[in-house]
Amino acid sequence: MAVAAALKADLCEIYTDVDGVYTADPNICEKARRLDRVSYDEMLELASMGAKVLQTRSVELAKRFRVPVLTLSSFTEGGGTLMKEGKGMESLVVSGVAADRNEAKVTVSHVPDRQGIAARLFQAVADANVVVDMIVQNVSESGYTDITFTVTKADLARAQKTVEGIIGELGAGKVRTDVNVAKVSIIGSGMHSQPGVAARMFSALAKERINILMISTSEIKVSCLIEEKYAELAVRALHAAFLEEEKQSPKAGKKTKG
């Protein structure tokens, strides 16, 4: 990708073991289908949320230097997914569903709810070179709160050691960790203009009796932390709720009788 950017190439073709970017992992969801086109932002979110077709760094370079990228299969002809600026050609509200099992949860209990405590906590974590993903702070009760955040499994031991080293200074209680979690996400550039997307996601998970532990959102993404054992079920449920329905909707190109 760096070479294509340096050469100011009109197109960069990347050959992998799959024939493009799919709406979900085909190994998990048999109804997953290949996308003809995705935006840089959608692909960046898909890559960071667990999709393994393209590395996050390569997508960042493509976006920065506006290099269109065509992902193709090394083993079959045809197909492919074009990544470039703008919305996907199919104008789907949700373009893909991804699951990331490389998550661990850290909860710091009985944290004094006063100014500067959260800053001190997360500065210590940052100084330990640990990247924090999702953060939730509970409603304060009697002047204390719980703070929960997620890190990668590889960073968990370092994060735990760091937090345990400063809880005395903070006046906090215990530190609890959980590695049996996963993050499931829906991604799509059409989400920002559509109301009720998060509600549909939560309803789809609730129908499968999947409890949501944490939630984070951006303009084109909604992510939920759940128990790891439900990761594949969650992907299939969300794909059915959004993409299998979207495929049949007028926005996806189906002609309707007038």
Residues 123-134: tens digit of each pLDDT: 999 999 999 999
- Which residues share a beta bridge with 177? 106
Q: 54 and 76 share a domain?
A: yes
Rg of the Cα trace of the chain?
Answer: 20
Using CA atoms in the order 156, 29, 92, 80, what is the torsion angle rounded to 10 degrees? 100
* Any domain includes 1: no
- Give residue 81's domain range: 10-87
Q: 79 and 135 share a domain?
A: no
CATH code: domain of residue 132: 3.30.70.260
pTM summary value: 0.86
- Res 253: pLDDT: 39
Q: 24 and 44 share a domain?
A: yes
* Any domain includes 4: no
Last residue of a domain, one of 179, 197, 231: 179
Q: 154 and 200 share a domain?
A: no
CATH code: domain of residue 49: 3.40.1160.10
* Any domain includes 211: yes
Amino acid at residue number 61: L
| Higher pLDDT among residues 253 and 234, named by residue | 234
Of 48-52, 119-123, 133-137, 140-144, the range with the lowest mean pLDDT is: 48-52
Average pLDDT, the chain: 89
Q: 173 and 193 share a domain?
A: no
What is the total count of domains within the chain? 3
Reduced DSSP (H G I as helix, E B as strand, rest coil) percent helix, strand, coil of the chain, to 5:
35, 30, 40
Choose among 114, 91, 94, 89: nearest CA to 32. 94
CA 154 vs. chain centroid, Å, equals: 18
Q: 175 and 186 share a domain?
A: no
- CA distances (Å), 97 to each of 31, 90, 94, in order? 12, 16, 8
Last residue of a domain, one of 150, 179, 208: 179
Q: What is the rounded distance in angstroms from the CA atom of residue 100 to the CA atom of residue 184?
A: 6
CATH code: domain of residue 224: 3.30.2130.10
* Any domain includes 257: no
Pairing mode of beta strands 69-73, 12-16: parallel
Main-chain phi, psi angles of 251, to 5 degrees: -65, -30
Q: 247 and 185 share a domain?
A: yes
Q: 171 and 217 share a domain?
A: no
Q: 174 and 185 share a domain?
A: no
- Res 246: pLDDT: 53
Last residue of a domain, one of 87, 115, 150: 87
Q: What is the side-by-side strand order in the sheet with 175-187?
A: 135-137, 144-151, 96-112, 175-187, 221-227, 214-218
Q: 185 and 243 share a domain?
A: yes
| Higher pLDDT among residues 44 and 135, named by residue | 135
